[in-house]
Amino acid sequence: MALITNRVIAKNEIKKNILLLGDSFTYGHGCSDRVYYWDPKTQKHIGNNKDLVLGPSEFCWGRLIDNTFPGLKSINLSAPGKDNISCMIDTLVAYNDHYKDEKIDAVIFSMTFDDRQQIAGHHGFLKPTHDSETQGRPIDYFKDYHNMASWSPLWDLKTWSNVHDLPKGYTQALELYTNYLYSPEWGAKLCHVSLYGVYGWAQNVGAKFYWAAPCASFAHASPYIDPTMKSLQLAHITDHLGIYDQNNQTGAIYRCPDGHANNLGHSVYFQQVIRPIMENL
């Protein structure tokens, strides 16, 4: 038996807290209750951007932890467009402000691409310039996203320019900057700092640590990631489902029109990757 807040409860009622960090693929952007993207065919937005500030989807793989394991509770700090450094910072802030008195038993850090700026240059993941594109948040909310808040991986610079009233020459300037001045190593170094920063914090609070990154084989082969860290790596949802693999026909059934994972994709990822980890906590 254990005594918690002056109430005697059975040990199997004590919940273990699982901290989840990530971007839209952890948040559940693309699930049936979190649909919002630009459709280049109809030249219209599909869904409601306000749904993306309601909290993680009820169908995301994190929520499935709660629904499947009564003894576990997920704390999902993910958000669409969140970069790796922001995940690390949010972990420290959230813990100090809200969870310092609770034990964090495990951390799953589902990372985004190493190099957000390079992706921004090639796919048009630019900073929102209108209130309608900020999900109800002030423009200043995005100041730490380095002009890389992304809502759809299918957008390109031409499409974005046609839809948004960007300053004259902005698109060309970004392309030139990305192609000739920006170093991809910056993004990779930020990724490694974030990974080891969250890992060190997890060790400090006594939590188990797991992580995943897109293009897992490249991350696993990185000389900057030591063998211990590699042993803690999980398959990323995009790799596991083959969402972006043009030769994988199965991946299409897990993919939304905007490239995110749908309800089925989150369910399959949970059952095959996340559930085995949770069963052994």
Which pLDDT value is given to residue 102?
86
Q: Which has the closest alpha carbon to 105: 15, 218, 172, 211?
A: 15
| Share above pLDDT 90 across residues of the chain, in percent, rounded to a whole number | 38
Question: What pTM does this model have?
Answer: 0.75
* 44-47 and 36-39 beta bridge pairing: antiparallel
Which pLDDT value is given to residue 58?
97
Which pLDDT value is given to residue 27?
95
Tell me the domain boundaries of the chain. Answer: 17-279
Q: Which CATH number fits domain 17-279: 3.20.20.140, 3.20.20.370, 3.40.50.1110, 3.40.640.10?
A: 3.40.50.1110
Characterise 147 by phi-psi region: left (phi > 0), alpha (psi -120 to 50), beta (else).
Answer: left
pLDDT band at residue 184 under the 50/70/90 scheme: low
Q: What is the mean pLDDT of residues 206-230?
A: 84
133-151 pLDDT tens trace: 444 443 333 333 333 333 3
Q: Which has the closest alpha carbon to 145: 132, 156, 135, 160?
A: 135
More confident residue, 205 or 134: 205
Which pLDDT value is given to residue 237?
95
pLDDT band at residue 98 under the 50/70/90 scheme: confident
Tell me the backbone φ, ψ of residue 108, rounded to 5 degrees: -120, 115
In angstroms, the Cα distances linking 79 to 51, 111, 144, 266 are 12, 12, 13, 16
Which pLDDT value is given to residue 193?
87
- Residue indicated by tokens 């949802």: 237
pLDDT band at residue 163 under the 50/70/90 scheme: very low
| Cα 93 to Cα 100: distance, rounded to the nearest angstrom | 10
More confident residue, 31 or 127: 31
41-90 pLDDT tens trace: 888 888 888 888 889 999 999 999 999 999 999 999 998 878 888 899 88
Residue 218 has pLDDT above 60, yes or no: yes
Q: Helix (H, G, I), strand (E, B), or coil: what is residue 151?
A: coil
In sequence order, what DSSP letters do the residues of 110-140 get, joined into one string? Answer: E---S-HHHHHHHH------SGGGTTTS-GG
Alpha helical stretches, state H, the chain: 24-27, 61-68, 84-94, 116-123, 157-163, 170-176, 184-205, 216-221, 227-230, 237-241, 263-269, 275-279
Contact between residue 194 and residue 88 where contact means Cβ atoms under 8 Å apart: yes
Q: Which tokens go with 250?
A: 């199965």
* 16-22 and 72-76 beta bridge pairing: parallel
